[in-house]
């Protein structure tokens, strides 16, 4: 019945703020966890990468006179805080989860071991990846692309505030139109922003399709896994 058996969902840290200026919004946690539960109940295997932009980004470190690498590690720790919040929200509504961290912190997360993660997914547990890929100079988009390929996900889902990829930024240009589908090469040639290049080319080289969609619409995740046309498909 479902079109995609195993998916990786990338959520930005910034989106966790909801209407707030910073931090983690309880409404957003509920919103995400309810959507995830719906597709888990349909039998989809779900892995999640969540960013840390609502708490700290490596690029902000310069202004604080903090070394870039140190700042990137701070950003990675920020993603673990978000991952823990999301884990709690999911477990509260009865979804079994595991938090898998690229940086060892055994008291709160298991260390990332690919085979173990795949086993969790097969057993219907939602796996949340914390600490990105564990290396500075990367983003959580790269972590999403890397882990999605490693675990053999059928699809990478990038949740955003807009409902797909547009010819221009739809929040700035009212004439911008949306692509239903677009090829990897066209995204690069047209200079459209989907993810950072490292993440994007990793998906391209491994033929991993990406759907960019509006994560604020609570029907979308379910509609996508059922095969409905939502957002923009990059393939
Ligand atoms: N980061 C990193 N390596 C990774 C993942 C993340 O160094 O593999 C750091 C980087 O500084 C980044 C921050 O963690 O700015 C938070 O992640 P990101 O900016 O991707 O979060 P989002 O924009 O999705 O909220």
79 vs 86: CA distance, rounded Å: 10
Per-residue model confidence as pLDDT tens digits over 98-141: 999 999 999 999 999 999 999 999 999 999 999 999 999 999 99
Using alpha carbons, select from 159, 234, 162, 160 the residue that is nearest to residue 203: 234
| Best probe residue, ligand 1, of 15, 22, 75 (max atoms within 8 Å of C-beta) | 75
CA distance 40 to 59: 35
Q: Which residue ranges make up each domain of the chain?
A: 6-234
Ligand 1 centroid to 171 CA: how many Å?
Answer: 24
Look up the CATH number of domain 6-234. Answer: 3.40.1160.10
Structure tokens, 147: 């882990």
Q: Which pLDDT tens digit goes with each residue over 184-217? A: 999 999 999 889 999 999 999 999 999 999 999 9
Q: What pTM, to 2 d.p., does this model score?
A: 0.96
- Average pLDDT score, the chain: 96
- Residue spans of alpha helices (H) in 123-211: 140-150, 184-189, 197-205
Q: What is the pLDDT of residues 59-76, one digit of tens each?
A: 999 999 999 999 999 999
Residue 195 CA to residue 211 CA, distance in Å, equals 11
Distance from residue 190's CA to the centre of ligand 1 (Å): 25
Name the E strands within the chain: 6-11, 45-50, 97-101, 110-111, 126-130, 155-160, 181-182, 210-214, 232-234
Average pLDDT over residues 24-37: 97
Ligand 1: list residues with CB < 6 Å. Answer: 12-14, 51-53, 57-59, 72, 75-76, 78-79, 132-133, 135-136, 138-140, 142-143
Does residue 169 carry a pLDDT above 90? no
């Amino acid at each position: 019945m479902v079109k995609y058996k195993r998916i990786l969902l990338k959520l930005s840290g910034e989106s966790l703020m909801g209407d707030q200026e910073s931090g983690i919004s309880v409404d957003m946690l509920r919103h995400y966890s309810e959507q995830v539960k719906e597709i888990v109940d349909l039998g989809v295997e779900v892995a999640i990468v969540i960013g840390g932009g609502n708490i700290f980004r490596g690029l902000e470190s310069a202004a604080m006179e903090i070394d870039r690498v140190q700042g990137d590690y701070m950003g990675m720790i920020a993603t673990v805080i978000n991952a823990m919040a999301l884990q709690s929200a999911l477990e509260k509504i009865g979804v079994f989860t595991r938090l898998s961290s690229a940086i060892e912190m055994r008291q709160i997360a298991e260390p990332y071991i690919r085979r173990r993660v795949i086993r969790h997914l097969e057993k219907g547990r939602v796996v949340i990846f914390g600490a990105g890929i564990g290396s500075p100079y990367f983003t959580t988009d790269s972590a999403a692309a890397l882990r999605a390929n490693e675990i053999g996900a059928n699809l990478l889902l990038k949740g955003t505030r807009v409902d797909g990829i547009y010819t221009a930024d739809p929040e700035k240009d009212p004439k911008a139109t949306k692509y239903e589908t677009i090829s990897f090469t066209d995204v690069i040639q047209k200079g459209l922003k989907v993810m950072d290049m490292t993440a994007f080319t990793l998906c391209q080289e491994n033929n991993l399709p990406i759907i960019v969609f509006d994560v604020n619409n609570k029907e979308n995740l379910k509609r996508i896994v059922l095969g409905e046309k939502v957002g923009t498909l990059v393939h």
